[in-house]
Amino acid sequence: MTFSQEANPANEGNAVRETLARVFGHGEFRRHQEDVCRAVVAGRDVLLVMPTGAGKSLCYQLPGLVRGGVTLVVSPLIALMEDQVGKLQALGLRAERIHSGRDRAASRDVCRRYLDGDLDFLFIAPERLRVAGFVPMLAKRTPGLVAIDEAHCISQWGHDFRPDYRLLAEGILPLRPAPVIALTATATPHVQTDIATQLNLVDPILSIHGFRRTNLAIEVLERAPSDRPAIIAEILREPGRRPAIVYAGTRKVAEALAGSLSEFFPAAAYHAGLDASTRDDLQRNFLGGSLDVMVATVAFGMGIDKADVRTVVHAALPGSLEGYYQEIGRAGRDGAPSRAILVQSFVDERMQGFFVDRDYPPVEVVSAIYTEIAKGPLTLEAIARRSRLGTPEVIEKAIEKLWLHGGIKANDDDTLEATDAPWSPAYTAQRQHRCSQISFVRRYIDAPRCRMIQLVRYFGDNEDEPCGHCDICAPDECVAQKHRAAGSEELDAARALLALLAECTSVATGQLFRRYQEGQGSMDRRSFEHVLGGLVRSGKVRIDEASFVNKDGELITFQRARMADGETAAIDSLFVVRASAAGREKRGEKKTPKKTPRKASAGPDADVPAHVVDALKRWRKAEAQRHGVPAFRILSDKVLEGVASMGPRSEAELLQVKGLGLNLVRKHGEALLAVLRDAG
């Protein structure tokens, strides 16, 4: 696929700028916004990749008004929909939404208003396009524009892939010739191409801008998990470093860390296990300023419009650079100096590997389950009884992957049947990609190179100007770690590395390390990285990205070191390294992550009322038919049994059922509670 680089100017006159001033109250566009708006007004398909806080929303809202008709916005997050609709309504615009959190009467009224031409904007969840009759209803009045928000969710190579997004292309096809704008804050070049392909964008304009954050100072330091609460508290005790968001890897860690921090300043935990009213109160308090620090799992922050967040702290290794960049982008949206601090160690990498195996079971496990299904159509319950295949959670994930990649199909009698489709290559590639995302994070952490340069290049921006205030560029400005002048052994190692680099034009950093060791160098790899980082900071060495394609066709990226151009001062006057980190774990000293407490669920001996389970299954089957998906894609048998066993009476109690997270409760909670009431 090729992308056009520029849009042909359209004869819109001053409509675009006039609408900017009259409706949105802005005298000028932000950088790059006007070009995108004019392209969309002219009817071009556009893929817009622009960071959080850079003004993506205006790039569909303004053109939608200028083009006229209804702008259809597909968004995966209810909170984000509600936020956008509220803001548009506050501007006097006719904006509405349809999602699982609204009752059927309200949704029917919105549909009527759409058909009557009484809306400027209609926001919908992606799964809505699968509801029988919904797309034909939309097609009765072709929208003026279709906007796909969080478009990276459509790509299996994206950091937040969502199966519902894969059906968008089919759903929006009847809405053509309306132009389509796909928007995302995080997409690598590979993901960008996949988005355009999956959505069938026609000769799209690719607009990638603004990844460099000039007001954001980034630090990365290594600390054992037990040391992190103290270091985070010390960082945030300075009032000028608050408000702050602290991202934790699990709900349990978020709760414990919030409790620790609340001894020093107002702090609270936010995660999907809290009931809706509590989450709303916490969010309102954080936005209003009475809560200084929000300790949250990574879902928090999507669509949160708080411009004065001064610090974002990651209390563990993130799972991908895409997610990490999106999260640190919530700091300093007002343009004032802000800081992003990542506290991690190698034990986190083990935890991320655990998450990958949980969400993307090893290929041999998935293959064993496929082989079992291929012996004859089986129900999900029959497969789950074969404990030798894995835990119920693993079996459920494997079946989901098989279905997504065409390896199995669901029959009308709820049995699963194997197909002849070659599912394995696609799934293997998807799992390998997910593993590679963790490798990219590790390389980002270890590389002695400007943090901002690494991030913008990861997203396809070729700017090469050091940021000047990350821990690599400006070690003296760090707030979470100390740097010191190199000792005599480190200076000797630095001179040895310079001598090796003087013998060649450039060399891979891994090969440089091996050559150093062959010369009887005594440093381990971590110390080598620190010394090499000191040479980069001193200006004597430059690190460049490189890549090659291996025999399996995979693109392998790595880093090359070379002597920097120009004269620099003596290394003993400029060369600094990171100070030793107290409690730092060494490579190889990996600890098995502690298992977090599981939610309550019905075990094999639990008293599960059969008539309630049957009622829940009937509801699930009707819901699956309505959405055109297999029943297990709605809720698993184990979840339904857990609901029946616990008999929850509120959404808060539903959240205590294992397997029911916040999104599922928002989507199905009201219906589940109704079934329980009717079943008595």
**pLDDT tens, 78-97?**
778 888 999 999 999 999 99
What is the spatial distance between Cα 331 and Cα 375, in angstroms, rounded to a whole number?
A: 54
Cα 378 → chain centroid: 35
The most confident of the ranges 21-30, 408-417, 519-528 is: 21-30
- Listed in sequence order, the residues at least 6 apart from 215 whose beta carbon sits closer than 8 Å to its beta carbon are 332, 335, 336, 337, 338
**Which runs of consecutive H residues, i.e. helices, occur in 385-504?**
392-404, 423-446, 451-458, 488-502
Task: At 467, list the tokens.
Answer: 């940021």
**pLDDT for 275-284, tens place per residue?**
878 888 888 8
In this prediction, residues 374-395 reach a mean pLDDT of: 80
Domains of the chain plus CATH, in order, are 15-208 (3.40.50.300), 216-344 (3.40.50.300), 355-443 (1.10.10.10), 482-578 (1.10.10.10), 599-680 (1.10.150.80)
Q: What is the DSSP letter of 657?
A: B
C-alpha dist (Å) from residue 545 to 17, 289, 562: 41, 42, 11
For the sheet containing 415-418, what is the strand order?
A: 378-379, 415-418, 408-410
Degrees to nearest 5, angle at CA 442 with 197 and 526: 155
Residue 192: CB atoms within 10 Å: 26
Give the pLDDT band of residue 451 (cuts 50, 70, 90): very high
Query: pLDDT per residue over 49-59, tens digit each?
Result: 887 777 889 99
Q: How far apart are CA 41 and CA 65, in angstroms?
A: 9
Report strand pairing: 267-270 vs 293-296: parallel
**pLDDT class of 21 with cuts at 50, 70, 90:** very high
Residue 143 pLDDT > 60, yes or no? yes
Highest mean pLDDT among 149-158, 253-262, 570-579, 662-671: 253-262
Average pLDDT, the chain: 83
Query: 548 forms bridges with which residues in the sheet?
Result: 556
> In angstroms, rounded to a whole number, what is the distance separating the alpha carbons of residues 73 and 433?
29
CA angle 576, 580, 585 (to 5 degrees): 135
CA distance 194 to 157: 8
C-alpha–C-alpha distance, residues 375 and 467, integer Å: 59
Q: What pLDDT does residue 294 have? A: 94
* Token pair 């279709």 in the structure block, residue: 146
Structural contact between residues 94 and 181, judged by C-beta atoms closer than 8 angstroms? no
pTM of the entire structure?
0.68
Measured in degrees and rounded to the nearest 5, phi and psi for residue 460 equal: 90, 5
State the pLDDT at residue 443: 85
Q: Report, as an integer, the average pLDDT of 95-117.
A: 91
β-strand partners of 561: 507, 543
* Residues 480-499, mean pLDDT to the nearest whole number: 82
CA distance 414 to 268: 44
Confidence of residue 587 (pLDDT cuts 50, 70, 90): very low
DSSP, res 288:
H
Distance CA 128, CA 131 (A): 5
pLDDT at residue 5 is higher than 50: no
Q: How far apart are CA 593 and CA 580, in angstroms?
A: 24
Q: Please, how many CA atoms are within 13 Å of residue 524, restricted to the half-sphere of its CB?
A: 4
What is the tens place of the pLDDT at every residue in 459-473? 877 777 889 999 888
pLDDT in tens, 169-204: 888 899 999 999 999 887 888 888 889 999 999 999
Helix-helix angle 423-446:392-404, to 10 degrees: 110
Higher pLDDT, 569 or 667: 667
Cα distance between residue 167 and residue 542, in whole Å: 45
Query: For residue 219, what pLDDT is reported?
Result: 94
The 3-state DSSP composition of the chain as helix, strand, coil percent (nearest 5) reads 45, 15, 40
What is the per-residue pLDDT across 630-669, written as a single tens digit (0 to 9) for each?
Answer: 887 788 888 888 888 888 887 777 877 877 776 677 788 8
**How far apart are alpha carbons 258 and 263 in whole angstroms?**
9
pLDDT higher than threshold 90 for residue 481: no
Which helix or strand (DSSP H or E) is residue 61 part of?
helix 58-67
The mean pLDDT value for 518-522 works out to 77
Q: What is the pLDDT of residue 9?
A: 45
DSSP string, 6-33: SPPPP--TTHHHHHHHHTT--SSPPTTH
451 against 533, higher pLDDT: 451
Residue 528 has pLDDT above 80, yes or no: yes
Q: In what helix (H) or strand (E) does residue 575 lie, and over which residues does it extend?
A: none
When pLDDT is cut at 50, 70 and 90, the band that residue 136 belongs to is: very high
Structure tokens at 428: 């293997």
Complete edge-to-edge strand list for the sheet that includes strand 555-563: 507-508, 555-563, 541-549
SS3 call for 343: strand
Stated as kind and residue range, the H or E segment containing 262 is: none
Provide the total of helices (H) and of strands (E) in the chain, helices listed first.
26, 21
